[in-house]
A and B are shown apart, each in its own frame.
Chain A
Amino acid sequence: MAEQVARKAGDSAAPPRREAGAFLRDPRVRAVLYQILVLGGVILLVAYLVSNTMDNLEERSIRTGFGFLSNEAGFYIGETTFVAYEASDSYGQAFVVGLLNTLRVALLGIVLSTIIGAIVGIARLSSNWLIAKLASVYVEVMRNIPLLLQLFFWYGAISFLLPSVRDAITVIPGVFLSKSGLQYAVPVSHPIHPWMGLAFLAAIAACVVYYKWAKRHQAETGREPNLLLPSLGMLIGLPALVWLAGGAPTQMDVPELATFRYVGGTSVTPEFLALLLGLTFYTAGFIAEIVRSGIVAVAWGQTEAASAIGLSRTLVLRLVLLPQALRIIVPPTTSQYLNLTKNSSLAVAIGYPDLVSVGNTTLNQTGQAIECISIMMACYLTISLSISFFMNWYNKHIALVER
């Protein structure tokens, strides 16, 4: 019975028996076959390289394996983010310090370059001739000078223009600026501080809830409640309340001049500052262009229609242009964020201890190049994928909702 059905189907669709040649000419078969061949080739090549390398490493008795990560590093790192580090800590901990330093400069750079990029991009479309021209000069300059040179420029500017530590500029009492960077007073750590942080987070959550409610309220009544004041009030007020409840500690850790430099308080080093400025201004140039082209890409009729119903220029931008432009802006901006993060590895040139700087030092002290490079690659890959993941999510979130 089944045989009969099969033959019937065979009769009508394809000839009952195929020769080998015809089988190979079938595009579907061929597609699979080629993929298998390519895959096999790649596997062979990788296997060859791997075994060749293992042999060579073995022959020259170059050490392999990740065991070194728990050995004592023995070198200091000039600045750390969030975690403490000593020369007696392990290579693994040194890597963490480098990674956090990279994340710090990358995250700050992303936020700042987005803000500056958006402002400059919108400014390029300004009807004010001077503003528009200044913005295009900015974009051209930033995009056409290699980033490395810009980093050297900022670093050089900081180390040549600023006075030496002993003649530091007192910006405001407790804040000192010199070749050694910006040293400023911070509150002496107090058990209430973590609670203030929590209060701030709670305030953010409250703002989100309030914002949702405001939207609904506007949809129902047509009146838009004031957004700015209540949110600011919550963001500042809640932590302030907690601070008061904690006895309002006001003691400050003020930097003081020791023999060579200011000690106490916290500092922003010239290396960090130069890297942050370089990355931010450079990337902002690209983001500005993306923002501009995103806005220009929204059909002109939209602006006309919006003006026709009496919206002000700012409202046209905020309510009509930007929401639509954002859909065009987000994907290319994502790759700028990735670029910024990867470019931060130029830090080694100006002495900022980022992941690559620490990784290279470790590589050189241990000689375990393959391991160190793979750790660095894995870190950058993880950071890049996280950024992409987040931005893709955001992109979906703002995508056109068909109604």
Chain B
Amino acid sequence: MRRTKWFAAATVAAFVGAAGVAQAGDTFDSVMERGTVRCGVNTGLAGFSIADDQGNWTGLDVDYCRAVAAAVVGDSDKVEFVPLSAQQRFTALQSGEVDVLSRNTTWTLTRDVSLGIHFAGINFYDGQGFMVPADLGVDSAKQLDGAEVCVQTGTTTELNLADYFRAQNMSFKPVVFEGFEESLSAFFAGRCQVYTTDKSGLAAIKSVDAPNPDDYKILPETISKEPLGPSVRRGDDAWFAIAKWVLIALVQAEESGITSDNIDDMKANSDNPMVKRVLGASGDMGEKLGLDPEWAYRAIKQMGNYGEMYDRNVGMESPLGLDRGLNAQWTDGGLMYAPPIR
């Protein structure tokens, strides 16, 4: 064991060696010093993180980064977005290139335990599905025996795909691409009969990337659980706590009925102890996180609560048009459930 370890270590100089500079506990300090949060996002997935032609980033994952920046630095614009492919994302986080990874990333045991990262929570409950050309004559994933499937490498998608076909005792032929763009254009060109990824991703691809949305359809089956959420580097518990509780505050705000519109009114007039604690009118929640009392106030004021973010980016107000489903508040039968802020 020791010997293999040394051999592994000896080949290191090329890349991780230089990454050793980041020390535990200093993410917050370096963010404050820099004045911006570096956030790893998707290279371009409508609804989650996509840049327009002026370079303005929008999306659910992007809004979370902005909320962190609002809570920590004070301004939701103080974010440096670093677009990352599926393949690059974990290395970028490990090596300290980004402070937060907010890029439709599934929380799995392997990633959580052996990649040197911590998941800060779940901002979208998703599942994997299949998309096919509408004229293929296929209505169910069970009919896909023998198909060619375009898929992007470095994803849970690739593994679920193998699992599903094995479990169904069907065969398939994967065509695996490293780049998202390449995988899509191969599918649209007809190289594969099937494209597979998270269903939210399929909705985005169908409504935004497809030459003509009506030519494609998403099959009803959901073949996996994909809890997507932001993550941070291991070894910095203070920063981990901030990343976690900003997300919780956004969810709690929705449950408590705090919106970007009514927030000042609520802050001044609400008698609800939870609302007062969240908005910093009472208690010392901010201090416990190493932040000021208005951390959550700023995040909600500038970005809106979780529900507002959802509606704006992936919900009914967006081209994706996804209903809340599992992502509704627990009080509405969904899974969004904020641990108590107290």
Binding site for B on A (CB under 8 A): 46, 49-50, 52-57, 59-67, 74-78, 87-88, 156, 159-160, 164, 179-180, 258-261, 263, 270-271, 348-351, 353, 357, 360-361, 364-367, 369-371, 373-374, 377
Closest CB of chain A to B105's CB: distance in Å?
12
Do B190 and A53 have beta carbons less than 8 Å apart? no
Do A74 and B159 have beta carbons less than 8 Å apart? yes
Q: Known contacts being A361-B153, A364-B90, is A56 close to B5, with CB within 8 Å?
A: no
Per the CB 8 Å criterion, the residue count for chain B at the interface is 64
Nearest to B6 among chain A residues (CB) is A50
Closest CB of chain A to B190's CB: distance in Å?
5
Partner of A350, one of B13, B117, B182: B182
Partner of B182, one of A64, A351, A370: A351
Do A53 and B12 have beta carbons less than 8 Å apart? yes
Partner of A367, one of B9, B19, B115, B193: B115
Q: Known contacts being A159-B186, A351-B182, A374-B7, is A364 close to B174, with CB within 8 Å?
A: no
Q: Known contacts being A52-B17, A61-B116, is A179 close to B174, with CB within 8 Å?
A: no
Do A66 and B8 have beta carbons less than 8 Å apart? yes
Do A66 and B4 have beta carbons less than 8 Å apart? yes
Do B94 and A62 have beta carbons less than 8 Å apart? yes
Nearest to A67 among chain B residues (CB) is B4
CA distance A67 to B114 in the complex (A): 13
Q: Known contacts being A87-B162, A260-B193, is A367 close to B116, with CB within 8 Å?
A: yes
Do B178 and A370 have beta carbons less than 8 Å apart? no
Partner of B162, one of A64, A74, A350: A74
Q: Known contacts being A49-B13, A361-B176, is A62 close to B159, with CB within 8 Å?
A: no
Do A367 and B12 have beta carbons less than 8 Å apart? no
Interface of A is mostly: helix
Do B116 and A57 have beta carbons less than 8 Å apart? yes
Residues 62-105 of chain B: 1 if any A CB is under 8 Å from the residue's CB, otherwise 0? 00000000000000000000000011001100100000000000
Across-interface contacts of B13 in A (CB, < 8 A): 46, 49-50
- The 5 A-B pairs with the shortest beta carbon distances in the complex, nearest first, are A60-B116, A364-B154, A367-B115, A374-B11, A49-B17
Across-interface contacts of A373 in B (CB, < 8 A): 11, 14-15
Q: Known contacts being A66-B8, A374-B11, is A78 close to B176, with CB within 8 Å?
A: yes
Across-interface contacts of B178 in A (CB, < 8 A): 348-349, 357, 360
Do B175 and A351 have beta carbons less than 8 Å apart? yes
Q: Known contacts being A52-B20, A360-B87, is A63 close to B173, with CB within 8 Å?
A: no
Partner of B114, one of A52, A61, A88, A371: A61
Interface status of B268 (Cβ within 8 A of chain A): no
Across-interface contacts of A64 in B (CB, < 8 A): 4-5, 8-9
Do B12 and A261 have beta carbons less than 8 Å apart? no
Across-interface contacts of B161 in A (CB, < 8 A): 75-76
Nearest to A46 among chain B residues (CB) is B13
Residues 1-45 of chain B: 1 if any A CB is under 8 Å from the residue's CB, otherwise 0? 100111111111111110110001000000000000000000000
Closest CB of chain A to B222's CB: distance in Å?
19
Residues B163-185 near A (CB distance < 8 A): 163, 166, 172-179, 182-183
Do B154 and A360 have beta carbons less than 8 Å apart? yes
Do B182 and A349 have beta carbons less than 8 Å apart? yes
16 pairs, A vs B, C-beta closer than 8 Å: A52-B20, A53-B17, A64-B5, A74-B159, A78-B174, A78-B175, A78-B176, A164-B190, A179-B191, A180-B148, A259-B143, A260-B144, A261-B147, A349-B177, A360-B154, A365-B158
Partner of A357, one of B91, B144, B153: B153
Do B235 and A59 have beta carbons less than 8 Å apart? yes
Q: Known contacts being A53-B12, A57-B116, A65-B4, is A260 close to B191, with CB within 8 Å?
A: no
Interface status of B301 (Cβ within 8 A of chain A): no
CA distance A13 to B146 in the complex (A): 87
Do B172 and A57 have beta carbons less than 8 Å apart? no
CA distance A52 to B162 in the complex (A): 38
Across-interface contacts of B115 in A (CB, < 8 A): 62, 367
CA distance A61 to B191 in the complex (A): 41
Partner of B176, one of A60, A74, A353: A353
Closest CB of chain A to B212's CB: distance in Å?
17
Known: A66-B4, A75-B162, A260-B147. 13 other contacts (CB 8 A): A52-B20, A56-B16, A67-B4, A78-B174, A159-B191, A259-B147, A349-B182, A361-B158, A364-B87, A364-B90, A370-B15, A371-B8, A374-B7
CA distance A67 to B179 in the complex (A): 29
Binding site for A on B (CB under 8 A): 1, 4-17, 19-20, 24, 86-87, 90-91, 94, 110-111, 113-117, 143-148, 150, 153-155, 158-159, 161-163, 166, 172-179, 182-183, 186, 189-191, 193, 233-235
Closest CB of chain B to A129's CB: distance in Å?
40
Across-interface contacts of B148 in A (CB, < 8 A): 180, 260-261
Nearest to A369 among chain B residues (CB) is B91
CA distance A129 to B114 in the complex (A): 65
Across-interface contacts of B86 in A (CB, < 8 A): 364
Closest CB of chain A to B172's CB: distance in Å?
7
Partner of A62, one of B114, B158, B173: B114
Across-interface contacts of B117 in A (CB, < 8 A): 60
Do B114 and A63 have beta carbons less than 8 Å apart? yes
Do B8 and A374 have beta carbons less than 8 Å apart? yes
Across-interface contacts of A364 in B (CB, < 8 A): 86-87, 90, 153-155
Closest CB of chain A to B102's CB: distance in Å?
18
Across-interface contacts of B235 in A (CB, < 8 A): 59-60
Across-interface contacts of A361 in B (CB, < 8 A): 153-154, 158, 176
Closest CB of chain B to A95's CB: distance in Å?
15
Closest CB of chain A to B233's CB: distance in Å?
7
Do A49 and B162 have beta carbons less than 8 Å apart? no
Closest CB of chain B to A203's CB: distance in Å?
36
Do B182 and A54 have beta carbons less than 8 Å apart? no
Do A61 and B5 have beta carbons less than 8 Å apart? no
Do B90 and A76 have beta carbons less than 8 Å apart? no
Nearest to B143 among chain A residues (CB) is A259
CA distance A350 to B179 in the complex (A): 9
Closest CB of chain A to B297's CB: distance in Å?
33
Closest CB of chain A to B46's CB: distance in Å?
23
Closest CB of chain A to B165's CB: distance in Å?
8
Closest CB of chain A to B224's CB: distance in Å?
13
Across-interface contacts of B173 in A (CB, < 8 A): 76, 78, 261
Across-interface contacts of A349 in B (CB, < 8 A): 177-179, 182
Partner of B234, one of A54, A61, A87: A61
Nearest to A263 among chain B residues (CB) is B146
Closest CB of chain A to B237's CB: distance in Å?
12
